[in-house]
Structure formats: C-alpha cells, structure tokens
C-alpha cells in the first residue's frame, strides 16, 4: 500500500460531484478492479497502487478520472517534468500508458478502463516518489532518522478532490520541490544529458603523466574532453603541446572533482577524465533522489554536512550563506547519515578519548612512549574516575583498566571549540589541532566526527540571533582557558548527508564514492517498481 501524501497537499476541501448512473465504462472499471491480484508479485499489469486503486474508484462509483479530461494533459506534462528530475519513463510505465491511451481512443469501455487505472497508478506513483523518493532510505542507510512527511487525511479523498476540482497540475504545484540546490541539480542533469545526446566525450589513451609544456599526441583528445564540460572554452587551443590554457582547464577540472589541482594529468585525473558521461548523470540522479528523502519540510535555516564531499554548508533564509572545507569519517570509521539539532557550543573543550580510539590508536603509542601522555596534555583516570599517575598503570596489560582525557589547549584533538547535538552515534562538529589536513584533496580521514575549518566563523553564524554575542566575548572565553558551554539562541537543524554530486557557486562538483554507497542506491533507483 502506498505511503501517505505530504501535508502540503492539504487545502480546503472542494465540492465533488455526486454519484453518476453506472454505464459501460464504470462497469468495465469495476470489472478490472475485481481482477486486480492481491499480491504485487502475481501481477503482470504493472500496477503498484492496488489498495489505492480499489478505494479510489469505489469512492467515485467507478467513474473514470482521466480519459477525455484536461487532467490527462496535466498528467502527461507532470510525468515529463519528473523525467527532468532523474526519474525514468519506466518508473511510471509511460510507454504502456501511451499505448493504452491510443487504444482507448478507438476502443471501447474495456480499453478506456485499462488506461484510466494505469493513469491513476502512474499519478499516485509520481506523488509518492516526489514526496518520499523512490528508494526507501532506511533500507540503504541504517542510521537514517530523518522525519518523513505525513498527513492525517485519507490520500484517496485528497486525490479525488483535485482530479474533480482544481486538477492534477494544482496538486503537483504543491509537491514540486523548489529548493535552491535541487533546482541547480535539475539544470546540471539537463546539461549532462545534452552532452550524452551529443555523443559524450572522447576517452584519453593511457600513457605517461601529462605535464605542462610536454608534447603529446593525446592533447587534442584532452582538449575535446575539457571542452565537453566547459572547463576549456570551445575551439580553444591546438597542436600537441600542453600549453598554459589547457593546464588551467585541467586545474579547473581537478578542483571540481576533488583532485590535486596541479595541472598534471596523472592516473587519478586520467581515470576521472575517462569516466563516461553516464556515470556523471547517475551521480546527479542520485543526489536528486537523496534530496527528495529529506529536503521537504525543512525550515529556512540549517547546517548541512556533505560527508562524501567533506564540505559543510550553512543555509540561511533558504539560500547558501557559507561553506567550508571539512574532514569527515574514513572508510573504516564512517560518519553516519542522520539529522539532529545543534543545541550548544563548548569553548576550550576537553576530549574524553572513546574506548575504541584508546585501544586502536592511543594505547600502542603509549606503550612505546608513556611520555606521549604528558606532552599532549592527557590525564589518566582509573575505573572510579580518579586521576592517577601514568607511571602507576600497567600499560602492557591487554586492558590497562583506565581511560584518558585531553585537557583544553591548542593541542587538543577537538581544537578550541565543538558544536554539540547529543546523539546515539556520539558524532558532533568540532575544530581541530591538525589544520593542515584541510589542504588534502581526500578529507575522509576522521574517526566519525566532522572537523570544520574556520570554526569561529561558523560559531558566529550559529549565534547570529544573540545580540549579546561578540567576537570580543568569544576571545575572552578562549583566553580564560576554561571549558565553557554556550547555548545557542535557538537550536539549529543539522543534516549529515552523502552526495557525490552537487552544485556550488554555480559549478558542478563530482566526487568519488568513499563509502561505496552509490551502487546500492542506484540499483534501487533503477529497479522496476
């Protein structure tokens, strides 16, 4: 059975025409309803919304909803608009829908009934997929906890009101997403589909790394490849020399793909250049689907962490306000996908080292050099929480029976500030004492938490509604050296998400798939309904 429609679909009830006398078409629809299999697996007609169909047509005395009415054109336009947002014609059985429509034009009640049922099924699938996404995120992300939109009214009633009232287009106007990033992704998808329609881009042959001023027969293919995405202006450059203009274009490509922007076409850059345009299209479709999972119902202000891209964004009044480089979890200590609210900040934080990090990372270092603890500001506590001397601990034991805590300082692993949203994953955002890591191209390096570059700019944005908050106040707290909790004026939603494609400052960005999550989502997105 379908899930509930979005709350946005609830408007004032409209009058619905009363029951009409049953005719041949109504009888044909009733007969078709009676033959619907109860199990989707036993069906061969492509219909998925069986319970909905039965309730919908029973409620309207089996009257057809679509054929010969303006809503047919509205449905067609809506389905084609959905294709621009990453769906496939097969998601709505559009080929068969058009065949049945043609058959109904010259056929009888049975043909009309078959078309009408499939049209209703396609429409409810479109509504369902736009509201919740086609893929169930809970099946591909075990940490998923995002709220899903629901309504209290019967979706059958809502659907019936719109089809016999303001129309299907009016219903869809309430459901199309107008998120800034989502709309940019739609534009990017259209652009890359145009590239595909033109034949894609050439593959560049393997060989020695291409370096500036080198002469190489692969340069014409490289230029054509860079022109395809706009990194190099069309009809720019010629010859076999790797000239400065082409180097700049390669650097642009590298920046957009999270690669070292040195202008050298080495193995990683070559592999990215040779990825087919279909791969880029799939990444854009995946990002559109992931947006549909969570973006509906968001307020105008929120923080968004792109785990795969290692970027953190602040959105204010529905528009991107600030972005910064971040460090997210490694392949083996993955940052989870979930949502929460940042409630407070801690300036001059202590760091209680998690047991897993203590065992795997710290204990081997301490066994080699117990002085590591004092040099880096760690306190040792026994099972009762009492501070003990490092020399009193049997560090060679399999379980020394102690924990360690790092005192506030410039050397603290959390840096000078952390941003807290208490959660079951013990994940939060924080500063770092290892800031040179932000300069790395691959920043999936942490133990699960998210390190934020320019954390004090971030803090100022979170505190913008507190008129008493100033830079001087922050500086005074920092200089005190005391661990200080600062509550936000109001909680700030934070979304930890995973995109391998997005648009930033008008530039399409692509990344590799550090947690290898794309394949499972893409398989589900491309699966038959």
Residues designated catalytic: 430, 449
Closest C-alpha among 127, 125, 121 to residue 100:
121
Query: 401: Cβ–Cβ under 8 A, 6 or more apart, which residues?
Result: 382, 383, 393
Q: Please report, to the nearest 10 degrees, the dihedral formed by the alpha carbons of residues 13, 14, 19, 25 taken in order.
A: -110
CB atoms within 10 A of CB 46: 15
Angle at 341 between CA 339 and CA 343, to 5 degrees: 155
Closest C-alpha among 146, 188, 158 to residue 14:
158
Going 161 to 163 to 164 to 170, the CA torsion angle's sign is positive
Would you say how long the chain is, in residues? 529
Query: 416: Cβ–Cβ under 8 A, 6 or more apart, which residues?
Result: 347, 348, 349, 408, 410, 431, 455, 478
What are 176's two structure tokens? 């199309």
Coil, strand or helix: which one is 223?
Answer: helix
Distance CA 373, CA 385 (A): 17
Distance CA 219, CA 221 (A): 5
Closest C-alpha among 447, 444, 441 to residue 428:
447
Cross-sheet strand order for the sheet of 351-352: 351-352, 403-406, 378-381, 387-388
Query: Bridge partners of 404?
Result: 380
Coil, strand or helix: which one is 511?
Answer: coil
**β pairing state of 429-430 and 450-452:** parallel
Closest C-alpha among 3, 99, 88 to residue 45:
99
CB atoms within 10 A of CB 96: 17
Residue 317 CA to its chain's centroid (Å): 20
Distance CA 480, CA 496 (A): 32
CB contact at 8 A, 274 and 200: no
């Amino acid at each position: 059975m379908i899930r509930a429609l979005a709350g946005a679909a609830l408007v004032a009830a409209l009058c619905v025409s009363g029951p009409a006398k049953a005719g041949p078409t109504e009888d044909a629809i009733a007969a078709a309803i009676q033959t619907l299999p109860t199990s989707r697996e036993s069906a061969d007609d492509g219909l998925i919304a069986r319970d909905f169909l039965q309730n919908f047509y029973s409620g309207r005395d089996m009257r057809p909803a679509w054929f010969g009415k303006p809503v047919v054109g509205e449905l067609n336009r809506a389905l084609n608009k959905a294709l621009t947002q990453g769906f496939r014609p097969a998601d709505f059985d559009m080929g068969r829908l058009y065949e049945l429509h043609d058959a109904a034009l010259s056929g009888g009640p049975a043909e009309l009934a078959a078309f009408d049922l499939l049209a209703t099924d396609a429409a409810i699938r479109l509504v369902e997929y736009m509201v919740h996404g086609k893929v169930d995120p809970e099946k591909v992300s075990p940490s998923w906890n995002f709220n899903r939109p629901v309504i209290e009214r019967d979706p059958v009633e809502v659907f019936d009101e719109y089809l016999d009232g303001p129309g299907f287009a009016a219903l869809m106007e309430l459901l199309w997403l107008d998120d800034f990033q989502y709309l940019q992704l739609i534009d990017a998808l259209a652009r890359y589909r145009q590239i595909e329609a033109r034949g894609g881009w050439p593959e560049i042959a393997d060989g020695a790394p291409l370096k500036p001023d080198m002469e190489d027969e692969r340069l014409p293919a490289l230029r054509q490849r860079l022109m395809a995405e706009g990194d190099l202006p069309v009809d720019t450059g010629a010859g076999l020399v790797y000239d400065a203009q082409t180097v700049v274009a390669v650097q642009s490509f590298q920046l957009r793909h999270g690669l070292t922007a040195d202008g050298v076409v080495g193995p990683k850059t070559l592999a990215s250049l040779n990825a087919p345009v279909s791969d880029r299209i799939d990444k854009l479709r995946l990002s559109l689907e992931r947006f549909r999972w969570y973006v509906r119902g968001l307020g105008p202000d929120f923080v968004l962490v792109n785990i795969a891209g290692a970027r953190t964004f602040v959105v204010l009044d529905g528009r991107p306000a600030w972005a910064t480089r971040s460090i997210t979890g490694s392949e083996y200590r993955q940052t989870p996908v979930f949502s929460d609210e940042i409630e407070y900040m801690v300036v001059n934080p202590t760091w209680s080292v998690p047991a897993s990090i203590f065992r795997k990372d710290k204990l081997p270092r301490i066994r080699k050099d117990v002085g590591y603890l004092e040099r880096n500001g760690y306190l040792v506590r026994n099972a009762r929480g009492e501070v003990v001397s490092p020399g009193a601990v049997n560090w060679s034991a399999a379980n020394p029976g102690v924990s360690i805590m790092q005192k506030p300082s410039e050397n603290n692993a959390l840096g000078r500030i952390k941003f807290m949203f208490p959660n079951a994953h013990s994940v939060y955002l924080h500063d770092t004492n290892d800031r040179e890591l932000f300069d790395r191209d691959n920043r999936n390096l942490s133990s699960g938490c998210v390190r934020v570059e320019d954390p004090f700019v971030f803090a100022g944005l979170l505190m913008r509604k507190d008129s008493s908050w100033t830079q001087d106040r922050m500086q005074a707290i920092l200089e005190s050296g005391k661990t200080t909790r600062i509550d936000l004026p109001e909680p700030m939603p934070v979304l930890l998400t995973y995109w391998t494609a997005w648009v930033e400052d008008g530039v399409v960005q692509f990344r590799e798939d550090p947690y290898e999550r794309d394949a499972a989502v893409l398989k589900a997105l491309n699966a038959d309904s």
